[in-house]
């Protein structure tokens, strides 16, 4: 590791540390950024290098994270644990665009990552740093996807994994991944915010490496969503990037990555970032509108369990990126999320509920005139459709409490006879 090319810096007070160490916060309590020495990178033909690596067979080049390693983390190749991640599809679905009221909408499907969510991009960096630091035990609090990802990467790296999950509030697909990959799974009687608080205490007391997105190296890997999206677009800058927000690591990362590209002169303007939260878990909307510090929402609630978070860790970093490009923050109801999901799914793309806040939010912002119908809009779908099969089946059977589906597609029972089947098909 060439420590000279980056340092850790406090987002609040600017204090800094020169190299790799086990540290997640400043002494003042602020969260940390990895600050790259961009001057050392200026003038290098980075975009050409990134494009050339797309055709390479090299283990690192094949990863949609490590391909951009100069802007992620210049870590020695031997420490890197990669599946490889990224290389996700960018869909262009006229049906989804029409639903959102847009002429076109491109959707980067991060559910196509190795463990089925965008979390793998940050996790490959987090676990690789853990290995470089000689850590043997890692932990995270999670609404499900971070724990699934961490469990898999820890298993590959031969580390012991501990996941802290809110009891009864994690979709079955995600819980089953944590169990399958062998993580010690601790169900906490409380919500994600309580689990997040506890995991930090346990990691401190036990010397376990914390792999939530408060870990600044996770954010560095997460930035690669923006890099790969722009690479997919031939380095053309979209007008808007729309994505869901929970703990706000992802929006923070995308904002940071874009700002770095701009300051290196690799792009000539910033896209606007629109972060979409579920109505019952939307503290960032208020912080954005009032300009005041974020006020946590106690007992956050939404059917999109992935983003059921009332006290997001990375809110300050997230707002920084949103404001830099003139973006916005919006909230959508569970009904809006589920109807958008039915459209995303029926288009053949498919994604988990939280992901579909992206499409619901874009629709709302177009209707409000914030996003023009002919804008160049890219959305991020964060998780795979199979992560939360119970919600899919519940929607189509009409059994989700307090919710009547507009596009149900319930299965029908048919006697095992040709005539009965022909009759069922002709209906
Ligand atoms: N979409 C999905 C599918 C998620 O799993 C998450 C977060 C988000 C969106 C929100 O991203 O937190 O960076 O703002 N899931 C975390 C977890 C909290 O534990 O898996 P964020």
Kindly report, residue by residue over 88-147, the tens digit of the pLDDT. 999 999 999 999 999 999 999 999 999 999 999 999 999 999 999 999 999 999 999 999
Q: Report CA 95 to chain centroid distance, whole Å.
A: 24
pLDDT confidence bin for 4, thresholds 50/70/90: low
Separation CA 58–CA 287 (nearest Å)? 44
DSSP per-residue string spanning 238-281: PSEEEEE-SSSHHHHHHHHHHHHHHHTTSSSSPPEEEEEEEGGG
- CA-nearest residue, atom 7 of ligand 1: 306
Q: Which atom of ligand 1 is nearest to the CA of 213?
A: 13
Separation CA 126–CA 212 (nearest Å)? 9
Name 74's Cβ contacts closer than 8 Å, sequence gap at least 6: 1, 2, 5, 6
pLDDT confidence bin for 186, thresholds 50/70/90: very high
For residue 245, the CA-to-ligand 1 centroid distance in Å is: 7
Q: Which atom of ligand 1 is nearest to the CA of 140?
A: 19
Q: Residue 226: name the closest of 238, 211, 214 by CA.
A: 238
Residue 316 in this model has a pLDDT that exceeds 90: yes
Domain ranges of the chain: 90-116+218-397
- CA-nearest residue, atom 15 of ligand 1: 306
299: left (phi over 0), alpha (psi -120 to 50) or beta: left
Give residue ranges with CB within 6 A of ligand 1: 117, 119, 142-146, 213, 244-251, 306-307, 352, 354-355, 382-383
Residue 424 in this model has a pLDDT that exceeds 90: yes
What is the pLDDT at residue 71? 97
Residue 64 in this model has a pLDDT that exceeds 80: yes
Q: Which atom of ligand 1 is nearest to the CA of 144?
A: 20
Rounded to an integer, the average pLDDT of 144-169 is 97
Residue 427 in this model has a pLDDT that exceeds 80: no
What is the pLDDT at residue 172? 97
- H or E segment at 341? helix 334-346
- Two structure tokens written together for 227: 């890099």
Q: Residue 243: name the closest of 276, 288, 287 by CA.
A: 276
What is the pLDDT at residue 107? 98
Q: Residue 130: name the closest of 107, 105, 155, 109 by CA.
A: 155
pLDDT confidence bin for 1, thresholds 50/70/90: very low
In this structure, the dihedral spanned by the alpha carbons of residues 161, 28, 244 and 186, taken in order and rounded to 10 degrees, is: 30
- CA-nearest residue, atom 10 of ligand 1: 246
- What kind of architecture, by CATH, is found in domain 90-116+218-397? 3-Layer(aba) Sandwich (3.40)
Pocket test for ligand 1, best of 247, 274, 316, 321 (most atoms within 8 A of CB): 247
What is the pLDDT at residue 100? 98
Pocket test for ligand 1, best of 139, 140, 141, 143 (most atoms within 8 A of CB): 143
For residue 88, the CA-to-ligand 1 centroid distance in Å is: 17
Question: What is the average pLDDT value for the chain, to the nearest integer?
Answer: 96
pLDDT confidence bin for 5, thresholds 50/70/90: confident
For residue 145, the CA-to-ligand 1 centroid distance in Å is: 7
> Does pTM top 0.95 for this prediction?
yes
Q: Which atom of ligand 1 is nearest to the CA of 248?
A: 14
């Amino acid at each position: 590791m060439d420590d000279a090319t980056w340092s850790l810096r406090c987002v609040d007070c600017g204090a800094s540390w020169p190299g790799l160490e086990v540290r997640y916060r400043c002494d003042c309590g602020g969260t940390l950024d990895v600050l790259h020495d961009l001057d050392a990178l200026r003038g290098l033909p980075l975009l050409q290098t990134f494009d050339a690596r797309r055709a390479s067979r090299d283990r690192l080049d094949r990863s949609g994270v490590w391909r951009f390693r100069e802007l992620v983390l210049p870590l020695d190749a031997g420490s890197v644990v990669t599946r490889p991640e990224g290389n996700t599809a960018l869909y262009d679905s006229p049906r989804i665009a029409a639903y959102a009221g847009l002429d076109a909408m491109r959707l980067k499907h991060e559910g196509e990552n190795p463990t089925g969510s965008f979390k793998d991009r940050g996790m490959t960096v987090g676990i690789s740093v853990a290995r470089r630091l000689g850590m043997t035990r890692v932990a995270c609090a999670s609404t499900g996807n971070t724990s699934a990802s961490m469990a898999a990467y820890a298993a590959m790296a031969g580390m012991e994994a501990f996941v802290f999950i809110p009891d009864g509030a994690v979709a079955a697909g995600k819980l089953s991944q944590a169990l399958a990959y062998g993580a010690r799974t601790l169900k906490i009687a409380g919500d994600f915010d309580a689990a997040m608080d506890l995991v930090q205490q346990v990691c401190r007391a036990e010397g376990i490496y914390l792999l939530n997105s408060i870990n600044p190296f996770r954010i560095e890997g997460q930035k690669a969503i923006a890099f790969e999206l722009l690479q997919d677009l031939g380095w053309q800058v979209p007008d808007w990037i729309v994505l869901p927000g929970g703990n706000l690591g992802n929006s923070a990362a995308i904002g940071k990555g874009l700002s770095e590209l701009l300051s290196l002169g690799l792009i000539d303007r910033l896209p606007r970032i629109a972060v979409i939260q579920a109505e019952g878990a939307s503290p960032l909307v208020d912080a954005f509108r009032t300009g005041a510090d974020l006020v946590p929402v106690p007992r956050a609630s939404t059917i999109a369990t992935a983003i059921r978070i009332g006290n997001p860790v990375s809110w300050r970093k997230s707002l920084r990126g949103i404001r830099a490009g003139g973006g916005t923050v919006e909230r959508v109801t569970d009904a809006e999320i589920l109807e958008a999901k039915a459209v995303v799914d029926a288009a053949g793309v498919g994604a988990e509920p939280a992901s579909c806040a992206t499409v619901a939010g874009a629709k709302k912002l177009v209707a409000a005139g914030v996003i023009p119908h002919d804008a160049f809009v890219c959305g991020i779908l964060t998780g795979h459709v199979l992560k939360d099969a119970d919600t899919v089946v519940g929607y189509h059977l009409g059994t989700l409490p307090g919710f009547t589906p507009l596009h149900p597609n319930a299965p029908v029972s048919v006697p095992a006879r040709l005539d009965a089947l022909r009759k069922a098909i002709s209906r």
